[in-house]
Amino acid sequence: MSTKPVFVATHPRACSTAFERVFMTRRDSLVCEHEPFGDPFYYGPERLGDRFENDPEVRENSGFSQTTYQDILDRFEQDGTSGKRVFIKDMAYYLMPPEGRSPTIANSVLKPKTNGLPNGDKLANGDSHVNGDAHLTGDHAPNGVKRSGVSEPGNPTVMPLDALRKFHFTFLIRHPRRAIPSFYRCCVPPQSEVTGFDHFMPNEAGYAELVRLFDYLRGQKIVGPAMPGEPKGEDEVTVTVVDADDLLDHPREVIEAFCKETGIDYNPDMLTWDDPDNQQYVCDVFAKWNGFHNDAINSTKLTARTTAHKTVTEESENEEWRRKYGDEAAKVIRTTVDENIPHYEYLKSFAMKF
């Protein structure tokens, strides 16, 4: 069974913090990293996100203005020296340039130069490579941040393939009809006054990036081809996709199945966290994304919801969004939801069944 760091790749508002909180009870055997790649994505010298591009004060005050992607990898390495397994929950889109821009490997992650080229030799045709597959592209980031110009064919991320191979990837999804309106609420007043996300950006929905990462990892056999419960190779990682609705309806079964697929020792006590020490620990960890995790912070356990999720029509959804946010906002939410449903349904086709 894999002992690699577990990486739960997800998108915003997928109930991922409630999911993560279960594993934060296991400080005896796990070191949890809460959305670490958001630091270099939004604030660092290799930043990819545009949200705070014109607000250097926010970037500086974040405490992460000098944080690189390699810094995060180094942190995982340090976490692993404790003898505990690392558990990471993060957004797939933090590993990719927005709007489908061409990805290049983050400067900080490139190996030392050889023959004047990043971790590679000059080929007969004048190209160069990293780990045999990367090529100089000459791309530049629109925000002026210097990029390496080194890419790996097919790799949608800014992390080299050899770095991605170090993780045991799993995936958590939620239907866009629930996740995207929830994210929108965090980006407008009054909630935005707490979160600091003062406008909604559809390119942060995160579904398309999650699909790109999922497909690439499967293509490289970093995950799969075996599904949970199927025979697999000795070092093979099963395709483990969790749907948030299943988590909310069957929390014990979902967590137990997830633990089985990732090699984490399951204990029913993981679903309860009402002690003051654990509460303070969680508050400290979640503080950097203030306002996004209030429900998870204020909870004491994860139990099955007692009422079935209501079936609603598109018309009733539109009316609810108009009432809460206005006509134009409702149109933006609807468009973003509809654009991402195919991505969700594709990933849902791989989800564990309960």
In a domain, 236, yes or no: yes
CA torsion angle for 270, 274, 276, 279 (degrees, to 10)? 70
Whether the pLDDT of residue 229 is over 90: the answer is no
DSSP H helical ranges for 45-155: 56-61, 69-80
Which of 75-79, 180-184, 245-249, 292-296 is predicted with the least confidence, judged by mean pLDDT? 292-296
Average pLDDT value for the chain: 89
> Which tokens hold the place of 265?
């020792």
Considering the domain architecture, whether residues 142 and 183 belong to the same structural domain is answered as no
Considering the domain architecture, whether residues 262 and 207 belong to the same structural domain is answered as yes
- State mean pLDDT over 146-158: 88
Boundaries of domain holding 39: 6-100+160-312+341-348
- State mean pLDDT over 63-78: 97
**For 13-62, how does the pLDDT look when each residue is reduced to its tens digit (9 = 90+)?**
999 999 999 999 999 999 999 999 999 999 999 999 999 999 999 999 99
Q: Which of 89, 99, 82 is closest to 37 using CA atoms? A: 89
Does residue 243 contact residue 351 with C-beta atoms inside 8 Å?
yes
**For 104-140, how does the pLDDT look when each residue is reduced to its tens digit (9 = 90+)?**
999 999 976 444 444 433 333 333 333 334 444 445 5
Does residue 171 contact residue 8 with C-beta atoms inside 8 Å?
yes
Which of 42-56, 85-99, 135-149, 158-172 is predicted with the least confidence, judged by mean pLDDT? 135-149
Considering the domain architecture, whether residues 96 and 231 belong to the same structural domain is answered as yes
Considering the domain architecture, whether residues 35 and 67 belong to the same structural domain is answered as yes
CA distance 248 to 241: 15
Q: What is the pLDDT of residue 312?
A: 87
Stated length of the chain:
354
Considering the domain architecture, whether residues 141 and 167 belong to the same structural domain is answered as no
Does residue 329 contact residue 336 with C-beta atoms inside 8 Å?
no
**For 311-337, how does the pLDDT look when each residue is reduced to its tens digit (9 = 90+)?**
789 999 999 999 999 999 999 999 999
> Which tokens hold the place of 119?
């971790």
In a domain, 329, yes or no: no
